[in-house]
């Protein structure tokens, strides 16, 4: 099985190629350089493996939530390759990738990740993930965009993970008192996590045709400004 994955929804930019479970990745933490980096990353991985897009089984991408521009970049790149090579696509949650990197790299005994990404304008992208029997992140409940003080969560003990904890640690820790005793900010979504989760979804028959490979923003109005939010709060 050969699957190519891309991830551009945060300040990090990465691409990964899995060939029969062996993963090679290109990763850089370079804000606002994604459009310059992602295609050369893909070309490098494919050339190193001696593959053409038509030889792949599927494509995976970080479908959001995340930066509006970043999510559009990963979606557009994958749609272009999928159309040209007639490949199925695997949309994977950015929050799931953050949780997956925590499960892969942390030595914590917790198998629950209370995952929060900074969504700007006073909110977070939120999702609770559990490590399943295969070591992969599995969503509990639903993802949401919410105030940190209003998160919904299962009554389970775990670790706080993601950039949202760096901004709203006090609010999140208060809301999750008794359930979270530590948090880790520095886990970025990576294409290596996207491709692992994509393989699972491919095996479950969850690949979609390119026209259904759409971004997930969570917000109904993505471009809401701070001024509009303040006006709403005054009404």
Could you read off the pLDDT of 8-25 as tens digits, one per residue?
Answer: 999 999 999 999 999 999
Q: What is the pLDDT of residues 61-71, one digit of tens each?
A: 999 999 999 99
Report CA dihedral (155, 158, 162, 168) to the nearest 10 degrees. Answer: 60
130 and 141 share one domain: yes
In total, how many domains does the chain have? 2
Q: What is the pLDDT of residues 53-101, one digit of tens each?
A: 999 999 999 999 999 999 999 999 999 999 999 999 999 999 999 999 9
Q: Is position 8 within any domain?
A: yes
78 and 114 share one domain: no
Q: Strand pairing partners for 161?
A: 115, 184
Q: Is position 232 within any domain?
A: no
CA 3, chain centre distance (Å): 17
The enclosing H or E element of 198 equals: helix 191-203
Residue 194 CB contacts under 8 Å (≥ 6 apart), including other chains = 5, 6, 7, 16, 60, 61, 62, 92, 97
Q: Is position 121 within any domain?
A: yes
137 and 65 share one domain: no
Q: Which residues constitute the domain of residue 119?
A: 95-184
Collapsed DSSP state (helix, strand, coil) of residue 82: helix
* Total-model pTM: 0.91
- Euclidean distance between CA atoms 216 and 235, whole angstroms: 29
* CA–CA–CA angle 90, 160, 61 (5° rounding): 15
153 and 222 share one domain: no
90 and 154 share one domain: no
């Amino acid at each position: 099985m050969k699957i190519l994955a891309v991830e551009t929804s945060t300040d990090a930019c990465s691409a990964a190629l899995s060939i029969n479970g062996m993963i090679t990745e290109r990763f850089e933490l370079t804000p606002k350089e994604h459009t310059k980096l992602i295609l050369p990353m893909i070309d490098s991985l494919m050339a190193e493996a001696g593959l053409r897009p038509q030889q792949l089984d599927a494509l995976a991408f970080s479908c959001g939530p995340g930066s509006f521009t970043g999510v559009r970049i990963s979606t557009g790149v994958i749609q272009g390759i999928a159309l040209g090579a007639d490949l199925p696509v695997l949309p994977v949650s950015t929050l799931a990738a953050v949780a997956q990197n925590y499960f892969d790299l942390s030595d914590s005994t917790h198998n629950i990740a209370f995952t929060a990404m900074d969504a700007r304008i006073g909110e977070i992208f939120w999702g609770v993930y559990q490590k399943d029997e295969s070591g992969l992140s599995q969503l509990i409940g639903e993802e949401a965009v919410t105030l940190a003080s209003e998160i919904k969560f299962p009554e389970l003990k775990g670790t706080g993970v993601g950039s949202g904890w760096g901004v709203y640690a006090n609010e999140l820790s208060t809301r999750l008192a008794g359930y979270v005793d530590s948090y880790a900010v520095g886990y970025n979504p990576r294409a290596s996590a996207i491709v692992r989760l994509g393989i699972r979804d491919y095996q479950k028959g969850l690949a979609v045709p390119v026209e259904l490979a759409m971004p997930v923003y969570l917000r109904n109005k993505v471009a809401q400004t701070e001024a509009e939010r303040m006006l709403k709060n005054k009404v």
